[in-house]
Amino acid sequence: MFELQAESRNNINILRLTGAVLLPEVVAFYQRVEDYLATSNVPQVVLDLSQTGQMDKAGLGVLINFCFQLQRRGRRLVLLNPAPHVAQLLKDTEIDGFFPICEREEEIKGYMPDMAG
């Protein structure tokens, strides 16, 4: 089970993911993020993965899908502080360079200069 909360901090909108995103949860996870994207016009979506309990390849597939969706809309997905097991999953699947990744919130503005304020 997972929880997804939107938060605005320092002119940046952050989605904070807590809990597990495994195969049984991917449809619900996909729908929640899709709902957020439909109601948000922010040019960059930051997904905080620091409190992600578990994630498998199905959950990672949803992130890749959203990355492509956002790119088609002229937007970007940035991952914030992936939990160690999520970082390892990215490395094991050899896509750790696919997503922009920030270890701390202060680094986000480096990926989003238009959001600095």
pLDDT of 11 reads: 66
pLDDT tier at 111 (50, 70, 90 boundaries)?
Answer: low
Asked if residues 5 and 16 have their Cβ atoms less than 8 Å apart, the reply is: yes
35 falls within a domain: yes
The model's pTM:
0.88
47 falls within a domain: yes
116 falls within a domain: no
CATH number of 48's domain: 3.30.750.24
pLDDT of 116 reads: 44
Q: Of 11, 9, 3, 8, whose CA–CA distance to 51 is shortest? A: 3
pLDDT of 82 reads: 97
85 falls within a domain: yes
63 falls within a domain: yes
Q: Domain count for the chain, please give it.
A: 1
Q: Which domain holds residue 48?
A: 2-111
Over residues 18-31, the pLDDT tens digits come to 999 999 999 999 99
